[in-house]
Chain A
């Protein structure tokens, strides 16, 4: 296989460079510019600029930095997801941060640095660069989880996230070390090309390495049984941070997982049994534990575990179709999960809020629009047509059936039915429960209104006209170099 050792082309990592530079400038200007609004919008501007530099690369994949960077469609598709997630988070976070008196320029800088890490993760086929990207993503996230410095539950979320995250990184890098020893390279393309030439004893290293890599990412994407940190961290972290956690790092983790396990380690047939078990456990445990939650952030944490399970179904099924359905689902999930969290963030801007589900009583009377979009996002999470959630699940399960994983698809569908219960509970409480006290009003900001409109529109458009977006996802896949 010809490994084109292209020269160093900074154009390939232009989006990353732009975002990192903007983030550093925000840090520095933060001490000079007193108007925080300017910094927030400067961050948004950086994201848009990065998006504009990333898009023209669509369709002409290139490899650079001696094979360490892949600017292919797959990478661009995921970069779009990260940019959308980061941009919407900036828009929705400001109001919350101000009302909780924790706003500072560092928040936006950390968010952007973390986005850079995710983009690096998606845009490489080298295990060590994936690890580097993972760390660039995770280290700012640890700080963001603990961002409310004087709030003990935020502190606790930060330390739990840090310990579990760093632990997972340790396992992951040891796995990568073993793979490196077995194959003599960390480049997934060379691992794939040399497959079958490895000797027996290096097969042992390879398999144990691959399993450790899977465990490491299992922590990052919150697969059961590596999920125990998720509910605590999601509940404790500031709400906009939780919103970002629930979509972007998950998408980045899956981007890397898809690249590693459906591409580099594609011939490792024994692993699929493990993935099967992982997918079933993740879906089932996530959905069942979500039923018992009274705190809405905690409920959505378990729901995000369940959604990781659905995407693991696609990963288990393997093949082009399944990978593109996973990518499509991640895009859709970004919209409706961020939307749901935007509503909760808005409600949480009141300092009295405790984010209990019962607190939604009387929401529809006071804020009909808010209640309506919340219901839309809950329907999407539960997977009702005509929302994006339905189409995403439909694609994933039909791919699973197509590839012969009928049992997995049946378990998945049954899980979706279970999930309807707890999602509808939120809708029922916000529309029909008789409030024992008046719902304390919240005031919109234009920024949050924009977030709600974008996420609601995304949820509906991806659901009603899925063809175009799915073809985009399909074009993105396996144009790996």
Chain B
């Protein structure tokens, strides 16, 4: 069987890719996908611990997080679509009306 640290490392790598995606990308859709990647990294980590420590509750947490991610996706995409209708762009750098 694949040992536990491997799964955790994959989870950590996914998480870091997600963070990098949000910080580096200028496309809203890609930023948003990176956030989903972060949530899934957490999911993978939780399910790994749950499996290797023989805890059942982790499985349920993953379901809950998936539902949360779906809700977030719905609202996020709706906002992005609305933005695109009004501004004809989803480049994050173009949203600069509000600056100090």
Contact = CB atoms under 8 A, between A and B. Distances in A.
Direct touching of A and B (C-beta under 8 Å) = yes
A184 interface: yes
B15 A174 contact: yes
B76 to A, nearest CB: 5
A475 interface: no
Given A142-B79, A162-B75, A173-B39, A150 B86 contact: yes
A150 B83 CA distance: 9
A163 B65 contact: no
Contact of B75 (A139, A149, A155, A293): A139
Contacts of B8: 181
> Which of A149, A152, A170, A186 has the most CB atoms of chain B within a 10 A radius of its CB?
A170
A325 interface: no
Interface in B64-93: 64-65, 68, 71-72, 75-76, 78-80, 82-83, 86-87, 92
A132 B63 CA distance: 11
Contacts of A173: 38-39, 42, 65
Interface string B6-23: 001001000100110010
Contacts of B86: 150, 152, 155
Contact of A180 (B19, B22, B58, B82): B58
B29 to A, nearest CB: 11
A47 interface: no
Nearest to B73: A166
B45 A178 contact: yes
Contacts of B18: 170
Contacts, number: 123
Contacts of A451: none
> Which of B38, B41, B99 has the most CB atoms of chain A within a 10 A radius of its CB?
B38
A457 to B, nearest CB: 34
A135 to B, nearest CB: 5
Interface string A232-247: 1001100000000000
A232 to B, nearest CB: 4
A135 B55 CA distance: 24
Contact of B64 (A128, A157, A185, A232): A128
Contacts of A149: 82
A160 B93 CA distance: 11
B7 to A, nearest CB: 11
Nearest to A127: B61
User: Per DSSP, are chain A's interface residues mostly helix, strand or loop, or mixed?
Assistant: helix
Contacts of A166: 32, 35, 72, 76
Nearest to A289: B100
A266 interface: no
B45 A139 contact: no
A173 B35 CA distance: 11
Contact of B35 (A128, A139, A170, A236): A170
B54 to A, nearest CB: 9
Interface size class, chain A: 35 or more
Nearest to A145: B79
Interface in A127-143: 128, 131-132, 135, 139, 142-143
A146 B49 contact: no
B49 A177 contact: yes
A300 to B, nearest CB: 14
Contacts of A131: 65, 68
Interface in A216-264: 231-232, 235-236
A123 interface: no
Interface string B35-67: 100110111011011000101011001001100
Contact of A153 (B49, B72, B98): B98
Nearest to A235: B98
Contacts of B78: 143
Nearest to B65: A173
A146 B98 contact: no
Given A143-B75, A171-B38, A289-B100, A132 B32 contact: no
B31 to A, nearest CB: 6
B49 to A, nearest CB: 4
A474 interface: no
Contacts of B39: 169-170, 173
A307 interface: no
A429 interface: no
B97 interface: yes
Contact of B100 (A152, A157, A169, A293): A293
> Which of B22, B28, B61, B99 has the most CB atoms of chain A within a 10 A radius of its CB?
B61
B79 A170 contact: no
16 contacts: A128-B64, A135-B71, A142-B79, A153-B98, A155-B86, A160-B98, A163-B31, A163-B35, A167-B19, A170-B15, A170-B42, A173-B38, A173-B39, A177-B43, A180-B46, A235-B98
Closest 4 CB pairs of A and B: A170-B38, A181-B49, A177-B45, A232-B98
Interface of B: 8, 11, 15, 18-19, 22, 28, 31-32, 35, 38-39, 41-43, 45-46, 48-49, 53, 55, 57-58, 61, 64-65, 68, 71-72, 75-76, 78-80, 82-83, 86-87, 92, 95, 97-100
